[in-house]
Structure formats: C-alpha cells, structure tokens
Amino acid sequence: MRRGRLFSQNCVVTGARRSSGVLLHPTSLPGASGIGDLGPEAFRFADWLAEAGMRIWQVLPLGPTGYGESPYQLFSAFAGNPLLISLDVLAVRGWLPQCGANPGAPDESVDFERVIPWKTALLRRAFETFRREALAADREEFAGFAGEHAAWLEDYAQFMALKHAHGGVEWTAWGAGARPDPAEIEYQKFLQWEFFREWRALRTYCAARGIRFMGDIPIYVAHDSADVWAHKDLFCLDETGRPVMVAGVPPDYFSATGQLWGNPIYRWDRIAASDYQWWIGRMRAALSLFDTVRMDHFRGFEAYWEVPATEKTAVGGRWVKGPGSELFRALRARLGPLPIVAENLGVITPEVEAIREEFGFPGMAVLQFAFGDDPQAPSFRPHNYTPNLAAYTGTHDNDTAMGWWRSHGGDSTRTTQDVKKEKARARAYLHTGGREMNWTMIRALMASVANTVIFPAQDILGLGSEARMNEAVHPPWPAASGRWRKYTSGKYRRR
C-alpha cells in the first residue's frame, strides 16, 4: 500500500469540508478466526485511516446475515452480526480463554461453512461463562441494554430462538404453537449486547481520530427476518406468510432481464397510517450506529419495481408509486436533520431528483459508469460533478477498478466491442495509457469538486476481479453455505 496522505483534510470547496474515505466491510479485515471482526485489527485499520488523512469509513450493513451471508439479506434491520464479535475482546473480559486460530480457515476468503460452527461454539461458551461468573455491574449493564432496546430486541431474540429450535428453516415452515427456549432468548440478547459494546468502543476510538462511519440502510428487508415475522401486516404477504409481490429492478444497460431480489414489498399504505413508526425506529437505530447513512436504492422511495412472486425474472414487473417526500418529512420531523447519502443510481427520473434536492441529500457518482453507452454515463464524468456529491471509483456492486479495466466483455449486456469503446473513452478522458488505472481513477476523483470521495479498499490495493465483493444480483438463494469471497458485502454466488 502506498504511503502518505490520500486527501487533505483541510481542503474546503464552496464552504463545505471535503473528505475522503474507504469502503471496507469489517468481515474483510484480517484475523485468526477466519472472518474479520470488531477487535484489534479494526482499531489498527482506524489508525491507518487517520494516518492517511481519511475521514470516512464506509462499512455497509452490519446486521446478522441470512441466506447467502449477504449484508443485504439480514435476519434483522436493527440487530448486529454476532460473527463480528471479537473473540480477543471476550478473552480480555475473562469469558473465553485465548482461542488461537481457526484451523484450516483460508486467508483470502471467509469460509462460512467453517467459520459459523467454530465461532458459534465459542460464543456460546462465552455466554455460559457470563451466566456463571459475570460481575454485578455487567449483569446490570446487560439488563439495561435489554430494556433500552426492547422495542426490537424482544422480537429479534424470540425469532432467532425459534429459528434455532426449528433447525434454521424459514419462519413460514415453523409449526404452530412453538415456544422459544428462554435460555436461547437470553443468549441472543447477550450477543447483541456484546456486539453493541464492541461497536461503541470502536466508534468512540474512531471519533477521537476524526473518523466518521457511513453505514447502509437497505431499502428492503429479507422475508426470513424478525422484521417481517413480527410485522406481517406491513408487507405484501399471503395468508401463509409468503410474499405476493417481491422487489427488483427492470431490465437495463447492465442486465437484460433486470434484477429479481426477492424481498417482500412494503404495504406503504399501512406504514403511512401509523405515521411511519416502523421506519422512524429503523432510521433512529441506524443513526445510533452511524454518522451518515447511505440510503440504498433511493429511487425506490419515489416509485418501485414490483414483481409477482411467481415470476422467474424481473421482466414482468411494473412501476408503483412509493411514499416519496412524505416519508422523509416524517423522519425529519421526529429525528431532526437527516445525514443521508442517496444512492441515486439506475433509472433516475426528475421526480426522484426532486425528492433528493428537497432535503439536500448528496447523490452518488461512480467513475466506472462514466465511459459506457448508457445515456447517463456523461453525468458520472468528474467535470460534471457538483460539490454535494459522494463520488466513488466503484461500489460494492461493481467489479474492482483493476478488474473492470482488465475485463474483455461478455458480462451482462456488454459486448467485447462495447468494452473496447469504453476503454478508449476512459483513456482519452483520463489522459492515461492505463498503467495503474486504480490510482488514475482515484486521482481523478480527488481532483473533482465532489465534497466526498470514497474508494473500495480493493482499489487502493490494486486488486483484480478475484477481490470483487458482489458477484451476483439474482436472489432469492437456497439455504446454502459454503466458501464465499473474503470481501463479504453484497449478493453472492459460490466461488
């Protein structure tokens, strides 16, 4: 990794403080347990960010992952992922011995089939030690946490306890009248308490070094989640609890059949009738974790693409009006100014931009999108940027900068000839022969007027397609496990 500061923290444009940052999900950090966590390596990375002059760490969603181990298919929109709990920290607390390395865990990927049972066994061991030996102060803090977060924690703990009792199958397959084990409920609450303790310590450490966290709010939640299980009336479900309509996006430049995500569609009429209480709670929870939140698929709040659950692709969907500005007015009225970055990528209409501009939310620009044939490509070129913008070399949904540059086409809707034209435009625009294209792209963003520029860690490291985060965009997935990419932050397929 190159030394030195990547961005001056004192550069000011149009009265706004400019900042740079790195996109890195904590699972990508090194560690002996086979998966990155919130322990010592996270603090070391924070030190590097501060030394490099960075001011933003974008972490994506941090919740407990479901099918595909994707942070965009979570068991809860409110909970934290227990796999991010540091075993080193638990050892310091005296609830675990020093555990050593996870035997056989690969260095370059997270093998969830190996990580989950190994780490879960140790987390359960820590919980049993806590139950036997915890000090009165710890028990009091634990009880206080459970009370403070009861609005979502009770539902989540019961959901996970029932899922454990039923062998992990989705909630629509549970038998009637099943009761969760009280000890399992307490274990689930313990994991959340410990996650939030460790996250609070990391966030405090980062804040002292001038580093802010940017997280994500995925627009949709997973069907197999505590959110849908506990609030069935807020989603388009049939009498058995299965989705009637599911989310996706229509065919576009990147996919001839669109994207079928499989998440259940909201009953926005019922959510509005409750004065958006569920969404207010969700946003409040996100702002307790992060300094800024990226609103995933912002376009879907103005109008969303709904697809009958019986369809195999997204082609047969239709546009339906969403809550629009009314939702964000309700959020602002209860929570105050909203530190939101709007993911305004895809088919963006004037109505979508009007909502973003009404609230002053920065939009996004992705440099990889600047050189193709899509009609919106020119807007992603740095000379067209405005200050109120978060600019990226690429996001978790893209190939890495070097992977993109080395590609030859044949993916999605791009032909080999399309890629040749795209590269020719990039060479001409960026005045480069293509050597160290990742650094060429990084410099182009830093020289723009955008107030915020963010680079995936893979682009700083110059990694290729082998380090891509998101490899597939067509869920729903089977209940599968296996070996997955180390950079765990999107919708994935097996290696």
Could you tell me which residues come within 8 angstroms of residue 279 by beta carbon, excluding any fewer than 6 positions away? Answer: 271, 327, 330, 331
* Enzyme catalytic residues: 296, 343, 397
CA distance 111 to 384: 42
The token pair that represents 182 in the structure block = 């009280």
CA distance 145 to 70: 27
The token pair that represents 251 in the structure block = 């065919």
CA distance 224 to 493: 19
Q: Which of 404, 437, 398 is nearest to 419 (CA)?
A: 404
Give the count of alpha carbons within 13 A of 60, CB side only.
Answer: 27
Angle in degrees, CA 466, 250, 403, rounded to 5: 15
Residue found under tokens 């996919």: 255
Residue type, 130: F
Could you tell me which residues come within 8 angstroms of residue 417 by beta carbon, excluding any fewer than 6 positions away? Answer: 409
Residue found under tokens 């020719």: 424
Residue type, 121: A
The 10 Å CB-count burial string (b at 16+, else e) for 25-47 is bbbbbebbbbbbbbbebbeebbe
How many residues are there in the chain? 495
Q: Which of 361, 340, 403, 292 is nearest to 59 (CA)?
A: 292
Give the three-class secondary structure for 427: helix
